[in-house]
């Protein structure tokens, strides 16, 4: 069987997500396993060129991982006809312009989300990609988490019956920078630099809800800036004006109600940094990043409300864990392999830029809901892109 080269321009690999998940755990891992296997048995081997502004840093990364090509000049990289795919995991504020340049250069594109920092730009770049006839995709990584894959398995098996509600808790305490060093970049808390947890996380919740539980029909959201002053990487105090928490309720197609709290101001007392509880007429499940626990209607206990005596039921012990029935590969890598097959042989692909438009649609609807203190209905994406 033949091995085909895929020239891949990778931008934004010096950041945490771009480096760890996309370069090391996806592309380097794919190269180490001998490429991506196609339906006819052929293999596709990604041949990346790393692009970044800091020459020394990019060169060190390339050397560390045995990658022969790197450059600080994106235009030179885009001019190479032998490199046909452009990937971006850099700044959200730069993404629309970068994707536009790559599309105009005839490249297929794959990128992190959000695909833009405004819905208008997301629509613009999606329409451009469609008009040029290139292949395009957006990362939807949380769908490939083991915990959510188990939730999907339960739903596909009819375990829940009719889903009534979904409750999500996401977040952890991000240190202000005085007693403890910060563990997230300071731009996350500055509006002018594309910060805000609504922009960062509701794009994720859109594709999770749409694909697992039902299309989002409407949203009610309250954002907050709980910590108004933080300390940046240089030890300088600054005013944090971007939302660091969001409390959102969603009405889903089919009648289920979802509520997800997203917060960088919440100390964790749960099984994971994100958990989802799904309650249905026949059963319930609670999933984190990896593990998932269930309680069926026939195993549901009958608790008695009595505030005068200590609770004797140990509720956590009344749930059964869904076993691992397979080895779960890295979710980013799985989606990379799917996109490479889509590019190389036209394999089915669902997560194109229109899915990114849905994410920005929900973000802007949530921001509008917060501003106007009311429910906002969402139009179908076909109407948005018309």
Helix axes of 92-104 and 119-132: crossing angle, nearest 10 degrees: 20
pLDDT the model gives residue 91: 87
DSSP code at position 118? S
pLDDT the model gives residue 115: 96
**275 and 287 in contact (C-beta within 8 Å)?**
yes
Within-domain flag for 377: no
Please give the residue range of the domain that contains residue 344. 3-141+331-351
Q: Alpha-carbon distance 98 to 323, whole Å? A: 43
**331 and 152 in contact (C-beta within 8 Å)?**
no
Give mean pLDDT in consecutive 10-residue pieces for the chain, a chain of 386 residues. Answer: 95 94 98 97 98 95 96 97 97 93 98 95 97 98 97 98 98 96 94 94 97 98 98 96 98 97 97 97 98 97 92 94 95 98 97 97 98 98 94
Within-domain flag for 182: yes
pLDDT the model gives residue 1: 76
Residues 270 and 127 in one domain: no
Q: Alpha-carbon distance 291 to 150, whole Å? A: 8
Residues 260 and 320 in one domain: yes
Within-domain flag for 381: no
Longest dimension (CA), the chain: 75
Residues 119 and 245 in one domain: no
Residues 137 and 158 in one domain: no
Residues 73 and 126 in one domain: yes
Q: Alpha-carbon distance 235 to 226, whole Å? A: 20
Within-domain flag for 386: no
Residues 27 and 75 in one domain: yes
Core vs surface per residue 132-163: b (16+ CB within 10 A) or e: eebbbbbbbbbbbbbbbbbbeebbeeebbeeb
CATH number at residue 275: 3.30.360.10
């Amino acid at each position: 069987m033949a091995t085909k080269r895929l020239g891949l321009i990778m931008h934004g690999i010096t950041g945490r997500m771009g480096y760890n998940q996309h370069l090391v755990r996806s592309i380097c891992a794919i190269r180490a396993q001998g490429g991506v296997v196609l339906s006819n048995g052929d293999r596709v081997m990604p041949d990346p060129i790393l692009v970044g502004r800091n020459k020394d840093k990019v060169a060190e990364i390339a050397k560390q991982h045995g990658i022969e090509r790197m450059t600080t000049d994106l235009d030179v990289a885009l001019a190479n006809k032998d490199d046909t795919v452009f990937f971006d995991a850099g700044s959200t504020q730069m993404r629309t312009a970068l994707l536009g340049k790559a599309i105009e250069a005839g490249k297929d594109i794959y990128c992190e989300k959000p695909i833009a920092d405004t819905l208008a730009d997301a629509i613009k770049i999606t329409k451009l990609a469609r008009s040029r006839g290139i292949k395009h995709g957006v990362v939807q990584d949380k769908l490939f988490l083991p915990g959510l894959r188990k939730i999907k398995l339960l739903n596909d098996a009819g375990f829940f019956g009719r889903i009534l509600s979904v409750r999500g808790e996401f977040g952890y305490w991000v240190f202000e920078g005085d007693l403890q060093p910060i563990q997230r970049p300071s731009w996350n808390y500055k509006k002018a630099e594309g910060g805000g947890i609504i922009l960062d996380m509701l794009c994720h919740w859109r594709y999770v809800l749409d694909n697992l539980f039902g299309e989002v029909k409407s949203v009610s959201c309250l954002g907050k800036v709980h910590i108004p002053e933080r300390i940046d990487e240089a030890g300088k105090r600054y005013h944090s004006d971007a939302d660091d928490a969001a409390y959102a309720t969603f009405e889903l197609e089919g009648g289920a109600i979802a509520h997800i709290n997203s917060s960088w101001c919440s100390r964790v007392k749960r099984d994971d940094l994100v958990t989802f509880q799904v309650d249905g007429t026949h059963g319930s499940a609670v999933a984190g990043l990896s593990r998932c626990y269930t309680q069926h209607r026939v195993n549901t206990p009958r608790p008695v409300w009595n505030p005068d005596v200590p609770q004797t039921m140990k509720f956590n012990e009344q749930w059964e864990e869904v076993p691992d029935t397979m080895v779960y590969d890295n979710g980013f890598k799985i989606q990379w392999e799917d996109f490479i097959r889509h590019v190389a042989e036209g394999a089915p692909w669902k997560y194109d830029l229109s899915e990114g438009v849905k994410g920005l649609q929900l973000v802007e609807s949530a921001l509008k809901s917060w501003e106007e203190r009311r429910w906002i209905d969402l139009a179908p994406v076909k109407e948005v892109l018309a």
